[in-house]
Chain A
Amino acid sequence: MAAAKSRYPTGVHPLLVEETARRRRVEARFVDTFAGAGFAEVVLPIIDYVEPYSSLVDSASAKQSYRFVDREGDLVAIRADFTPMLARALAPAMSAGDLPLRLFYRGDVIRVEASRLGANRELFQIGAEIIGDDSIDADVAMLRLAADLVRAPGKEPAVVYNDASIAASLIAQSGAVREALAAKRMSSNVPAALATIVAKLISGEATVDDVAPFASEAAARLRAIGDALGTDPVFTLHLDDVDENAGYYTGLRFRVYADGAKVAQGGRYDTLYERFGQRAAAIGFTFTIDDLD
């Protein structure tokens, strides 16, 4: 079938005058906020080799990227996630004296979404990261910054946070935990030693004290983050919101909702940079702009 003159491939479309103006207004607001908080912009390439990321990308997220063989015969992928690309670009170039770095980026990613039966989607994202700062202050600063970005256009944010290492440490002890947490349903395969904590996580009754024996560092950090955030109702600790598949996240993990819709997600990935040759703690978040006025 000849491509009709008015058609575009699935998941992409041009922005005409009004939509572009709206997009640029949103961008400008983000850029102003980031600049005010001391973040500098970087630009990352739209395609990159697949090979440097092979140790890092699990098969599920690999499936999310649009890949092809370039004219030299190398396997390349269109950008689907900024964070690993920033680590690969930055790790060889930075020295300890440069840290911490506060950086932001913006641009399109293309995702092949399995749940949409192979449809591609072009998404516009803006994200920010602090590299080389493993402090709780950095965690709190990023949570607050994410909430402020939602508030700027007059929306009500809800930031739900947790620590990815809690589920990771439980899953490391027993694979059955992954299944139970993924479904949010208790399973008789969970070993007796973990049954109480897993059942409490699933039922939503678990407290920071309950998880402390299994993930003491995470518990201590969550306590400190909770204290720093105070009683602001925007921030909610969801210990039951466990990521059964944490990807590269190693610590704090959060999602940002605006009027009930997810607009951003992020967290801490303290082992990502060392995979590209330089140790550095890092935390960041990414907003997907399409749905945010």
Chain B
Amino acid sequence: MRIAIPKGRLQDPALGVFAGAGYDVPDEADLKTRRLVFDRGGIEWILVKDCDVPVYVEHGAADAGIAGLDQILEHECTAYQPVEFAFGRCRMMLIAAPGAPPLTKVATKYPRITRQFLESRGIRAEIVPLGGSVELAAVLKLTSHVVDLVETGETVRVHKLELQDVIAEISPRLIVGKGFYRTEPKLVRELIGRIEEAVNVAR
């Protein structure tokens, strides 16, 4: 079994979930090396950028993983999502510069989610895809609006921007690839069972 762990903000809680479920996960010393693949306890753990977890799982390069709903939606990932986690929750929001004109141009790291949101509201607007620090686009008037994840709202406050609309409630999930789900039911049931138990204990 190959499991994809997202680097970045979800890495520690994701490893914590598997450790709590009794899996032998890569430890501090492992993670300090530059390696990205770790064989432990009969499982191959791979460390990938958070936005790539749904891609690996969708195409069967990893059997399961932990990914935020933001990345699942952005990649239109069809993997199953059998467990939702309480950690790392946040919101996908529409954010505006103060006194912004009606939405005509919006910057985001999530062009697909943004396009779907705009279509659902019947708004025609130009999407400017950015790689990060998207709030800056509104501050520097590159765009009137941005779509981004909001966890505490601190970034938005610091830049004196306004929260306008909630697009989606975002939570991390255990995702399981469809091929793996269909062909390895025993492994899948054990994995889901152990993770669910660990989550319930943590509650």
What is the chain A residue whose CB lies nearest that of B69? A183
Binary CB contact string for chain B from 66 to 106 against chain A (1 if under 8 A, 0 otherwise): 00000000011110111110000000000000000000000
Shortest distance in angstroms between B71's beta carbon and chain A's nearest beta carbon? 12
Contact status B84-A185, CB under 8 Å = yes
Q: Does any Cβ of A come within 8 Å of B181's Cβ?
A: yes
Shortest distance in angstroms between A232's beta carbon and chain B's nearest beta carbon? 16
In whole angstroms, what is the CA distance A236 to B82 when docked?
Answer: 21
Q: How many residues of B contact A (CB 8 A)?
A: 22
Given A202-B82, A262-B179, 7 more A-B residue pairs with CB atoms under 8 Å apart are A115-B75, A160-B182, A183-B173, A185-B83, A236-B185, A238-B185, A261-B60
Contact status B81-A184, CB under 8 Å = yes
Binary CB contact string for chain A from 244 to 266 against chain B (1 if under 8 A, 0 otherwise): 00000000000101001110000
Q: Which 4 A-B pairs have the closest CB atoms?
A: A184-B80, A183-B81, A184-B82, A160-B182
Secondary structure at the B interface, as helix, strand, loop or mixed, is mixed
Q: Does any Cβ of A come within 8 Å of B176's Cβ?
A: yes
Q: Does any Cβ of B come within 8 Å of A141's Cβ?
A: no
Q: Does any Cβ of A come within 8 Å of B40's Cβ?
A: no
Q: How many residues of A contact B (CB 8 A)?
A: 19
Instruction: Decide: A257 near B81, CB < 8 A? Known: A114-B76, A184-B176, A204-B189.
Output: no
Shortest distance in angstroms between B62's beta carbon and chain A's nearest beta carbon? 13
In whole angstroms, what is the CA distance A125 to B60 when docked?
Answer: 21
In whole angstroms, what is the CA distance A284 to B185 when docked?
Answer: 25
Contact status B183-A160, CB under 8 Å = yes
Contact status A260-B179, CB under 8 Å = yes
A-B contact list, 26 entries, CB within 8 Å: A115-B55, A115-B59, A115-B75, A115-B77, A115-B78, A160-B182, A182-B80, A183-B82, A184-B81, A184-B82, A185-B80, A185-B81, A185-B84, A185-B173, A202-B82, A204-B188, A236-B185, A238-B182, A241-B181, A255-B182, A257-B179, A257-B182, A257-B183, A260-B183, A261-B60, A261-B179
Binary CB contact string for chain A from 219 to 232 against chain B (1 if under 8 A, 0 otherwise): 00000000000000
Which residues in B have their C-beta under 8 angstroms from that of A260?
A: 179, 183
